[in-house]
Amino acid sequence: MRNHLRTFTLLAVLTALFVGAGYMIGGATGMLIALLFAGAMNLVSYWNADKIVLAMYRATPVDASHPEPLIRNYVADVQALAQRANMPVPKIYVIDQDQPNAFATGRDPHHAAVAATRGLLTMLDRREIRGVMAHELAHVKHRDTLTMTVTATIAGAIGALANFAFFFGGRDEEGRPTGLIGAIVIAVLGPIAAGLVQMAISRGREYEADRTGAEISGDPQALASALQKIEAYAKGGYFNPDAERNPATAHMFIINPLARGKGDSLFSTHPATHNRVEALMSMAGQARAAVPERRATAVPVTPARRLGPWS
């Protein structure tokens, strides 16, 4: 219920931004057109936003029959992790990008998908890949994916509308031009406002997905190691052209896929990686410290409930 309320609030905020942009571009007529378009866009986003985002990245579906052993292992691990988390197995995709990264999408656990780049599958070891995909399954389990995907599509539309305003301007209800200054204002403030909304919903849920993902995989250290490697590769210049063309989707990835810039610290959609790693290592330490205590109290622990690395 809380996640649905958050999604509804987010939709309301983004719709208001979109309608306000329409008013600045075309007065009352522009506002009405923007309102109608926003209503249609909200419906499309709810039912098809996952397909839109997957298409943006030209993601390819894969299954256990894939000829590459690397892909078959990836599929098998996602299936096993979903079973371990007691949730439906999502559709599984691969993105043909060298930058190591991954994201989840879909409106609920029964209509979800996870995607990993080829860079992630080739640059990380299998244990680390499991940690990353457990993090993505945690987003699905928490129903974060609806909020994340809807934000990506609507924030992207606001950016497109701002670009339209910049190049074409508009007229008010009396037929007078709105002027270049108004177009510049919405072109600048539209994406910033959408970015602030993304930032507001992203940081807390990343910490929570790290925690739940570590519980699903039973290996917090693997996810910590994966985050460090992904961050290092991102800083090393693995450019993701699809992400650069669609910056409104950056918050969906496990690590920000955009090239580093001066505004990153202000508008970053992700917590600092070193903070996430510290939290995971603390979690791993607590799990190790709990082992002697369980033995001392002689409380039986079944394999399905015990936290520990995969064999």
Query: Is 173 among the residues known to form the active site?
Result: no
Check if the beta carbon of residue 116 is closer than 8 Å to that of residue 133: yes
Check if the beta carbon of residue 164 is closer than 8 Å to that of residue 23: no
Look at residues 112, 138, 106 and name the one whose alpha carbon lies nearest to residue 254.
Answer: 138
Active-site pick, 68, 128, 136, 173: 136
Q: At what angle do helices 126-141 and 220-235 cross, to 10 degrees?
A: 100
Report the catalytic residues. Answer: 136
